[in-house]
Structure 1
Amino acid sequence: MDYNVYLLATDPNDPCRDVIHSRDTNLKIRVYCLNYDQFTPNDGEIQLYGYAHDKLYAFETINIAAEDALDVVGAIQWYADYIEFPDMEILPEDPRPGHEIAM
């Protein structure tokens, strides 16, 4: 059974600023705690969101390659397990009021 191995780079000055790295691909995902961090989505990247431990997290890819896009959810699920919140619901849009996508 093949599965991806993920690594985590943490910022010692900001416990809520992590970067998830795939060991076997070029996938990288920056983690933001929206309770504390300012976040402006990059149109060229994938953003997903999730609540865990009374915090809202934003996950944004870094220089996403098409072949890595399918692994984004798996990496976020790995992170949810890492922060001991395996039931985190992964949301496709920012759930905060006023952050809806304009159509």
Structure 2
Amino acid sequence: MEYNVYLLATDPNNPCRDIIHSRDTNLKIRVHCTDNDRFEPNNNEIQLFGYARGKLYAFETIDISAEDALDVVGAIQWYAEYIEFPEMEILPEDPRPGHSVAM
């Protein structure tokens, strides 16, 4: 079984601005801490959410391509392990009041 390898680019001025990169594909995911940053989702990207230690994280793809879409959850699971919170539940919608998307 093949596993993707992920790398992390961090912003030394803002610890809540990580970017997850896949080493083997073009997948990139920007990490937002919604408690500290204003998060406005891009309708052309995939957004997923997760809580870790009482903090809500928003994960948004960067220039997502169809072939990379299946790896998004795996990348977020890797990030949860990285921040030492592997039990992070990945949520498909923004759980903050007034932020859910009506379809």
**Given the two structures, how large is their TM-score scaled by the length of structure 1?**
0.98
For 1:63, the equivalent position in structure 2 comes to 63
1:48 aligns with 2:48: yes
For 2:15, the equivalent position in structure 1 comes to 15
RMSD: 0.6
Q: Which runs of 5+ in 2 are unaligned?
A: none
**What is the CA–CA distance in structure 2 between the aligned matches of 1:7 and 1:27, rounded to whole Å?**
11
Deviation beyond 4 Å, 4+ runs, structure 1 = none
**Given the two structures, how large is their TM-score scaled by the length of structure 2?**
0.98
Letter in 2 for 1:71: D
Letter in 2 for 1:18: D
For 1:39, the equivalent position in structure 2 comes to 39
* C-alpha displacement of 1:54: 1.3
**What is the CA–CA distance in structure 2 between the aligned matches of 1:65 and 1:97, rounded to whole Å?**
30
* C-alpha displacement of 1:53: 1.3
How high is the sequence identity, in percent, across the aligned residues? Answer: 81
Q: How many residues align?
A: 103
Q: Secondary structure at the match of 1:77?
A: helix
For 1:5, the equivalent position in structure 2 comes to 5
Q: Secondary structure at the match of 1:67?
A: helix
